Structure 1
Amino acid sequence: MIEQDLNSLKLENQLCFPIYVLVRDIVNEYRPLLNELDLTYPQYLVLLVLWETDDMTVNQIGEKLFLDSGTLTPLLKRLEQKKIVTRVRSKKDERVVKIKLTKHGKDLQAKACEVPSKLAEKMNVSMEDLMDLRRIITKIKSK
């Protein structure tokens, strides 16, 4: 019984470790692709949200990305410095900050369209395989 318990603690038997390594590897594969767009991976995630629905509050973006405003604020300031988004305080409630894409931010979307397929190519897997992996992860995450 103790032998079995000890085996469950081996690194090779952990589900979390290969997932951790895979996430790190995927983010590293994104880096050169996003460098071409002058974006970091977290900035890219913010843009994915805004390309889907422009003109959102910081809190709405945070809900989509599971990030708090303390993490998002410096990211959004940097995107504003790059003239990719604008940040405007609500006239009704100054605590609310709305984020909107600039023309440059909207134009980046066309360039970013190649990122997913280039990533799949670099990882030597099909888009179908990546979608299967995403489906399984989403299934696990929703439990």
Structure 2
Amino acid sequence: MSINQLKLKNQLCHRLYMASNSIVRAYRELLSELNLTYPQYVVMMALWEQDKITIAQLVEKTAIDGGAMTQILKKMDDKSLLNIVKQQQDKRKRLVQLTQQGLALKLDAVNIPNKISCKFNSIDSAQVKQLMQLLDLVVNDLGEST
């Protein structure tokens, strides 16, 4: 074993950490116009894709920790973007559904993916697709579902 293995420049995980932080910073300005944090934006995208789903389904779809999801949903409920209602068939399960305000926000957010992709000056769309595939493999190998 070599001491070089401990250098930051040789760490894949540190590069992923830096990339993740850079991406969240890039989104911050765009999302501030919508009064959303990045995790809230992820929840909104999931709900715009499929509204009226259980909290468990939302956790699975977004890969956000259940405890964190509870806090995120509370803040979004306070912003009147969604409602959390008890399911009729099983009162223990709660459904998350968008409000009219949450649905309308989709129109304001529609250009965000394009604005972010424009910031990737050094990689083309084929490389972006390849990167996504590689990251899916990383997530899969580490035991998380995508």
Aligned position for 1:122: 119
Give TM-score, length-normalised by structure 2. 0.86
8 Å CA contact 1:88–1:98 kept in 2: the answer is yes
Match 1:11 to one of 1, 8, 23: 8
Aligned-partner residue type, residue 73 of structure 2: L
Gapped regions of structure 1 (runs ≥ 5): none
Gapped regions of structure 2 (runs ≥ 5): 142-146
Give TM-score, length-normalised by structure 1. 0.88
Q: Pick which of 69-78 and 45-54 moved more.
A: 69-78
Match 2:81 to one of 84, 87, 91: 84
Question: 3-state SS of the aligned residue for 2:85?
Answer: strand
Larger radius of gyration: 1
Residues 55-113 of structure 1, C-alpha deviation per residue, up to 9 Å, x if partnerless? 00111101112233321112111111211111101233322110011121111112211
Q: Pick which of 79-88 and 67-76 moved more.
A: 67-76
Aligned length, in residue pairs: 140
Aligned position for 1:132: 130
Structure 1 stretches of 4+ with a deviation exceeding 6 A read none
8 Å CA contact 1:57–1:98 kept in 2: the answer is yes
Query: Take 1:96 and 1:107, find their aligned partners in 2: how far apart are those partners?
Result: 26
8 Å CA contact 1:7–1:13 kept in 2: the answer is yes
Aligned position for 2:60: 63
Match 1:141 to one of 132, 139, 142: 139
Match 2:46 to one of 44, 49, 72: 49
- 1:102 paired with 2:105, answer no
Percent of residue pairs bearing the same amino acid type = 36
Query: Take 1:126 and 1:38, find their aligned partners in 2: how far apart are those partners?
Result: 29
Aligned-partner residue type, residue 134 of structure 2: I
Give the superposed CA RMSD.
1.7
Aligned-partner residue type, residue 31 of structure 1: R
